[in-house]
């Protein structure tokens, strides 16, 4: 199994960012978050993760084009505070010599607007910040976009249970990655970049009827309409209890067969999804044999800037039942 240089770099960067997140999560600093303009929380782990990934990518491409979630201006209130010092120290553990100024410069390199013709990266440094704060599911999600579609994706999932969500206790931490035309794969998060040959392929559930499906949806009702999800499960005759977890770990759960449908219903007619919330998960899911569209069955278009402007909601499901889910909607 061969991997492109871009994929190897992306995996190494995501692993390093996960170390920063885990270091901060194990400290008192993880309890503090500030609110962004949209009232969503952001922590020093978000900024530290974004800085580390961009620093790693810049080492290999000085002309990096990156659409990332976090804004360096949001960091300024943390400068010269104990939280700011904690962030610098956590980043310096994986990037020796890191300083506040360097971190701010790296984070600011994520302000690219996107393109329909140029290749660019998109990053959610902590997808599921509320899950991170609860010490539940969150993901470091890095994707590469070419011609309006994801062609490479890496999901670092520090709390993903190795033996599945039904297991009690046991090891946690999985890395999921995919490259267009080369399948989707998984490894323990801590595995060395030199040991990728031990990666195992992941495949979606082979179920033939949506009646047998297990639904995966957001913990937060503000992210997806739970009422609409309940109506759909009733229409499809699904009786299994839904798996509610944060972040693009939902894409990983469907790709890995731990669930069979991921639904994200829009919470308003005007809302459009951010590309960093989906790019990495979409390619992992599709390379695992799944199918991903909006709720109307339309292909996702990542060429229109920072949002999926032409799409409403998300359906990621085993290809065998995807069309029946669209029909039920």
Question: Which pLDDT value is given to residue 168?
Answer: 75
Of 46, 86, 246, 294, which is the active-site residue?
Answer: 46
The domain that holds 235 is classified in CATH as: 3.40.190.80
Same domain, 16 and 83: yes
Domain final residue, candidates 174, 201, 228 = 201
Same domain, 267 and 146: no
The domain that holds 50 is classified in CATH as: 3.30.540.10
Same domain, 242 and 276: yes
Domain enclosing residue 197, as ranges? 5-201
Question: Which pLDDT value is given to residue 23?
Answer: 95
Q: What's phi and psi for 6, nearest 5 deg?
A: -60, -40
Same domain, 10 and 137: yes
Question: Which tokens is 233 given?
Answer: 């499960």
- State the alpha helices, DSSP H only, in 26-116: 44-60, 82-92, 100-108
Rounded CA-CA distance 177/5 in Å is 13
Beta bridge partners of 188: 174
Q: What's phi and psi for 63, nearest 5 deg?
A: -100, 35
| Pairing state between β 120-127 and 139-146 | antiparallel
Question: Which pLDDT value is given to residue 271?
Answer: 92
Of 43, 86, 122, 129, which is the active-site residue?
Answer: 129
Q: Could you tell me the pTM of the whole model?
A: 0.95
> Sign of dihedral through CA atoms 56, 59, 65, 71?
positive
- Could you give the number of structural domains in the chain? 2
Question: Which tokens is 212 given?
Answer: 């047998």
Is the distance from CB of 249 to CB of 155 less than 8 angstroms? Answer: yes
Same domain, 67 and 9: yes
Chunked into runs of 10 residues, the chain (329 residues) has average pLDDT values of: 83 97 85 67 94 97 96 92 94 97 98 95 96 94 97 98 83 96 96 89 95 88 68 91 94 96 90 97 98 97 97 96 95
Same domain, 182 and 236: no
Domain final residue, candidates 201, 221, 247 = 201
Domain final residue, candidates 147, 174, 201 = 201
Question: Which pLDDT value is given to residue 29?
Answer: 65
Contacts of 202 (CB under 8 A, 6+ apart): 176, 184, 185, 186, 255, 256, 257, 284, 288
Q: Is residue 195 annotated as part of the catalytic site, yes or no? A: no
Question: Which pLDDT value is given to residue 286?
Answer: 98
Question: Which pLDDT value is given to residue 214?
Answer: 94
Let me know if 232 is exposed, middle or buried by CB neighbors in 10 A (0-12, 13-18, 19+): buried
Q: Is residue 46 annotated as part of the catalytic site, yes or no? A: yes
Question: Which pLDDT value is given to residue 266?
Answer: 85
Rounded CA-CA distance 204/214 in Å is 12
């Amino acid at each position: 199994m061969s991997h492109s240089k871009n994929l190897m770099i992306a995996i190494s960067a995501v692993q390093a960012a996960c170390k920063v997140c885990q270091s901060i999560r194990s400290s008192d600093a993880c309890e503090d978050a500030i609110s962004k303009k949209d009232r969503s929380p952001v922590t020093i782990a978000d900024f530290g993760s974004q800085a580390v990934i961009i620093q790693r990518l810049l080492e290999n491409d000085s002309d990096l084009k990156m659409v990332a979630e976090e804004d360096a201006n949001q960091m300024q209130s943390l400068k010269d505070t104990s939280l700011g010092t904690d962030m610098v120290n956590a980043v310096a553990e994986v990037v020796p010599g890191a300083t506040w100024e360097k971190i701010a410069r790296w984070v600011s390199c994520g302000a690219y607007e996107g393109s329909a013709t140029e290749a660019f990266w998109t990053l959610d440094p902590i997808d599921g910040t509320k899950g991170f704060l609860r010490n539940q599911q969150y993901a470091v999600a890095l994707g590469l976009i070419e011609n309006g579609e994801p062609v490479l994706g890496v999901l670092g999932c520090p709390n993903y249970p190795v033996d599945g969500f039904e297991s009690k206790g046991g090891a946690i931490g999985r890395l999921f990655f995919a490259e267009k035309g080369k399948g989707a794969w998984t490894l323990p998060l801590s595995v060395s970049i030199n040991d990728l040959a031990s990666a195992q392929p992941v495949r979606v559930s082979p179920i033939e009827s949506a009646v047998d499906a297990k639904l995966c949806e957001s913990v937060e009702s503000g992210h997806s309409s739970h009422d609409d999800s309940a109506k759909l499960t009733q229409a499809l005759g699904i009786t299994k209890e839904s798996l509610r977890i944060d972040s693009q770990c939902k894409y990983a759960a469907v790709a890995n067969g731990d669930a069979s449908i991921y639904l994200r219903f829009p919470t308003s007619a005007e809302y459009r999804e951010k590309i960093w919330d989906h790019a990495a998960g979409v390619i992992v899911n599709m390379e695992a044999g799944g199918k991903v569209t909006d709720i109307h069955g339309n292909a996702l278009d990542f060429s229109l800037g920072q949002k999926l402007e032409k799409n409403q909601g998300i359906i990621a499901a085993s290809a065998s039942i995807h069309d029946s889910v669209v029909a039920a909607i």
